[in-house]
Amino acid sequence: DIQMTQSPSSLSASVGDRVTITCQASQDISNHLNWYQHKPGKAPKLLIYDASNLETGVPSRFSGSGSGTDFTFTIISLQPEDIATYYCQQYDNLPLTFGGGTKVEIK
């Protein structure tokens, strides 16, 4: 199975701050990586697909980069509504696997 190591597990930042989350795959997954936002009691929401493509309707303050084994997710200016847990997921091979999640809070 492909292991996805996501860090940090949590972070606290101020409104307007730049937030960066990393995800490392245990083997080359090309660009087969999604980033999701998950708020309590809600459906997870796809933000970034194929490592760097912004899903339709998602604000441009969200971005993703990387390929191979190392990936980065960035919120360029944190907003109060961005409070959530963020997950990376690889879909290069089955079983599909997720990173452990990053809980983002407002300082």
Partner 1 sequence: EVQLLESGGGLVQPGGSLRLSCAASGFTFSSYAMSWVRQAPGKGLEWVSGVSGSGHTTYYADSVKGRFTISRDNSKNTLHLQMDSLRLEDTAVYYCAKGSSRSPVTGSDSWGQGTLVTVSS
Could you tell me the smallest distance in angstroms from the CB atom of residue 75 to partner 1?
Answer: 19
Could you tell me the smallest distance in angstroms from the CB atom of residue 73 to partner 1?
Answer: 14
Q: Which of 32, 64, 82, 104 lies at the binding interface for partner 1 (CB under 8 A)? A: 32
For residue 37, give every residue at least 6 positions away whose Cβ sits within 8 Å of its Cβ, in sequence order, or none.
Answer: 44, 45, 47, 82, 84, 85, 86
- Structure-token pair, residue 32: 């087969």
Could you tell me the smallest distance in angstroms from the CB atom of residue 59 to partner 1?
Answer: 17
**Beta bridge mates, 26:** none
Where do contacts with partner 1 occur on this chain (CB under 8 A)?
Answer: 32, 34, 36, 38, 41-46, 49, 55, 85, 87, 89, 91-101
